[in-house]
Structure 1
Amino acid sequence: MERKYQVTESDLFDFFNGKLSAEEGRVILEWKEVSAENRKVFDAVRKENLVLKEVVRAQLIKGDYSSIQGRMAHRRRRVVGLKYWVAAVVVVGVVASVSLWDNSPVEDTRKSIAYIGRPARTAVLELADGGHHYLSGNEIRFKEEEGVQLAISDGKVVYDKKTGQGVKEHPVYNKILVPRGAGLYRIVLNDGSVVWLNSDSRLEYPEQFVRGERRVRVSGEAFFDVVRDTTRPFVVETDRQSVSVLGTEFNVSAYPSEPVLTTLASGKVRVLPTNGAKEVLLLPGEQSVLNVEGDSLFVHPVRISDVVSWKDGIINIENMALCEILKVVSRAYDVDFDTKLLPTDDIILRGSISSDESLEVFLAVLSKVADVKFKMNADGKIEVQKVN
């Protein structure tokens, strides 16, 4: 009588990681010899397991796998079950991604997606007098000691400068630039307020705050934890709006050619567009959206953790369209995508991944949950197309 085995992909991973009993291991080995198809699956999972051990450190916090249910059902008919697909979609994605790069010359690592690692962390401090300082680590702290302003990065003084007597009426602005692919940066201003600055972002701050207010300028994305000072409101300027607070926590996303998003975590903020739209007062858990033209402003509720997770090293794609996710990836890894082969109907995804992962791992995750594939073109752009 023929023996029938029900071996899932999860069982195979347990086998390769020594988690099965001797009897269970014997059943796996017998199942492997039943057919060439079983041996093929056995070898594929063995390779996936090696990738898991040596490459993959990504963890999907949550996700919607509805887009790959068809392929899951197909594999169930081949005896490899659904159970492991949900648990190990990252691993399968990395293995699948390897085949996507095969048509790139192996020796030309500059054009290989696998060559692009995790985001670096090198920001630039640009002084008003034209001086430049490269910032090691991922934090810079400003403080004043006996009339001298100090900028400290990675435990070392980046620069020191006499602040002069009294508070100036017309402040001199310095800049902190975080380029694409540079990761996030934490900045402690000399009033104690903390600013997290995302990739492809710029913070302009005064050497000294003037009387009556604390004013900074932002391009890109920043999260603010403002020290309360009732005598000096804290004002954040972007090209299309200003945000005024006394002391609170809020996030501002103001990238060029994109809507300006202001999200309040605690306290209250007043959002004032510069192009005629009516100002709004935000409450915690609310986000204002200012359109690209700057003349339309509306407010809607959001989950704060989804918006501000980037400052904790998590790239969140919760309910985001694929085209928007690719913008985030472009800024985080300093790459450009060619999306002309994608359908006009966008793909909405849910999930999160550590911002410390390599680009290859990130795209491997996207390739599985969005049913797309990536290929590095000769011009350096990454081509994206839907899997048929």
Structure 2
Amino acid sequence: MSTSERLTYLLEQARLRRATSAEYRELLQLISSDEQGEIVRLLDTWHGAGTTESTASTEYDHAYWQQAVKEILDADNSARQPVMLPVKNRIYFLQRYWWAAACIILLTAGAYYLSKQTRQPAVAVASPVKDIAPGGNRAVLTLSDGSQITLDSAGNGILAQQGNTRITKLSNGQLAYSGSGNPEGKILYNTMSTPPGGQYQLILPDGTGVWLNAASSISYPTAFTGNERSVTVTGEAYFEVVKNEKMPFRVKAGNTTIDVLGTHFNINAYKDEASINTTLLEGAVRVNIAQQQQQLRPGQQARVMANGASIQVVDHADISEVMAWKAGFFSFNDADLPAVMRQLSRWYNVEVKYEGRIPQRVFTGEIGRNLTLSQVLKGLTKTRIKYRIENGNRIIIQP
């Protein structure tokens, strides 16, 4: 097999996320020794751009790519802790090879544009500012009387009593409810809220597990009574619902209601996203809007647009991309720049603004959520994304 054929194979394996760790290392070695611009020409072919003549004359900055790879490899070693994560039914040490994913982001987004644009001087970034740490387990619990408990700083053990229900912070950091509710029969409600840069786990009174992503909330009764279990969600949450046919589980999010018997599913209902997405991992759910409803099978995703006019069903949702946040990483599959920045904004608690036209870039790859903001932004500069940071927490994306 020729070098060109081998490079084609490795790029395709990486693009499809099928490459082994050894293949990633081999690809990186080929990138570093790519004197003739084979990568740029192959990406041109994938994007269907140009003719043989134009491709052959493509300018290729070998020194630029060598430096790009070197900077990725020289990133803070403390961020490369091995974490086992499922991706496309394969197991990778994501943090150990996060640089490989970053290289794929560079390849799929950066090289193509670099090959089509006149070379610009190196990107000038604003003066160094204090780095921003990644998010963590942070949340606030609002009790039925309006009082609040900051969960990340609260000690383990019983935190409060709501009627006959005890609220306990477990040794693993989860919040759990146990008991029989209010002896007077009055339904008491609690709300757990995560700030930007926060996430948290909760065990509801019926044993249902809930994982909240950043800038999200869930409101629920301290004990489930009557003929249904009903909760309200904003932002993003993953549920593992305990089955109880006599008391169906119901989730309300914006203009969408999800009816559940017992199942695992994720709901993304951020207000700044174009749709409310419900993705089913196992079991069965029914998504309802106005007078329309749609039953989902495992692997399907229901999308409800902001106007709530209809339900669009995706038959083969990318489960690994949907569940990446819960597993501890970002996953992008042909995501545009605003989609990437919305996720970074929530996790690092930063504001994102754009000056002029938004750069047209497409990003594919996975990066751990335990990296600092500067480490993540370093990858953006390799795709000729120019930015500056103001007031410590505002990212300005420039033309």
State TM-score, norm by structure 1: 0.70
- Residues 334-343 or 189-198, more deviating: 334-343
1:39-118 correspondence to structure 2 within 5 Å: 48=71, 51-52=74-75, 54=77, 57=80, 59=98, 60-61=100-101, 63-64=104-105, 65-69=107-111, 100-101=124-125, 103-104=126-127, 112=129, 114-118=130-134
1:364 aligned onto 2:364: no
Structure 2 counterpart of 1:357, one-letter code: L
Task: Give the match's secondary structure for 1:185.
Answer: strand
- What is the CA distance between 1:161 and its match in structure 2? 9.5
Distance in 2, matches of 1:379 and 1:176, equals 28
Say if 1:140 and 1:188, in contact at 8 Å, map to a contact too. no
Task: Give the match's secondary structure for 1:319.
Answer: strand
Kindly report the root-mean-square deviation, in angstroms, between the aligned alpha carbons of the 2 structures: 4.0
Say if 2:162 and 2:181, in contact at 8 Å, map to a contact too. no
Say if 1:314 and 1:353, in contact at 8 Å, map to a contact too. yes
Structure 2 counterpart of 1:353, one-letter code: I
Say if 1:133 and 1:158, in contact at 8 Å, map to a contact too. no
Counterpart residue number, 1:238? 253
- What is the CA distance between 1:151 and its match in structure 2? 2.2
Counterpart residue number, 1:176? 192
Distance in 1, matches of 2:391 and 2:172, equals 42
Distance in 1, matches of 2:338 and 2:204, equals 35
Counterpart residue number, 1:384? 397
* Stretches of structure 1 lacking an aligned partner (at least 5 in a row): 1-7, 14-39, 75-95, 107-111
Task: Give the match's secondary structure for 1:177.
Answer: strand
Tell me how many residue pairs correspond in the alignment.
Answer: 316
Greater relative contact order structure (CA < 8 Å, 6+ sep): 1
Counterpart residue number, 2:309? 295
Structure 1 counterpart of 2:298, one-letter code: P
- What is the CA distance between 1:351 and its match in structure 2? 1.0
Task: Give the match's secondary structure for 1:116.
Answer: coil
Counterpart residue number, 1:81? none
- What is the CA distance between 1:136 and its match in structure 2? 2.1
Flag the structure with larger Rg. 1
User: For residues 363-383 of structure 1, what are the alpha-carbon distances to aligned partners after superposition, in whole Å with 9 as ceiling and x for unaligned?
Assistant: 112332x43122113585211
- What is the CA distance between 1:167 and its match in structure 2? 9.0
Distance in 2, matches of 1:230 and 1:311, equals 27
State which of 351, 354, 358 in structure 1 corresponds to 2:365.
351
User: For residues 332-353 of structure 1, what are the alpha-carbon distances to aligned partners after superposition, in whole Å with 9 as ceiling and x for unaligned?
Assistant: 1110111233447x42221111
User: For residues 153-195 of structure 1, what are the alpha-carbon distances to aligned partners after superposition, in whole Å with 9 as ceiling and x for unaligned?
Assistant: 4468989998556694x6221000100012x211111211111
Counterpart residue number, 1:150? 167
- Residues 312-321 or 282-291, more deviating: 312-321
Task: Give the match's secondary structure for 1:285.
Answer: coil
Say if 1:136 and 1:154, in contact at 8 Å, map to a contact too. no
User: For residues 120-173 of structure 1, what are the alpha-carbon distances to aligned partners after superposition, in whole Å with 9 as ceiling and x for unaligned?
Assistant: 3321011110111111289999999994423214468989998556694x6221
1:318 aligned onto 2:341: no
Counterpart residue number, 1:217? 232
- What is the CA distance between 1:295 and its match in structure 2? 1.9
State which of 278, 284, 287 in structure 1 corresponds to 2:292.
278
State TM-score, norm by structure 2: 0.68
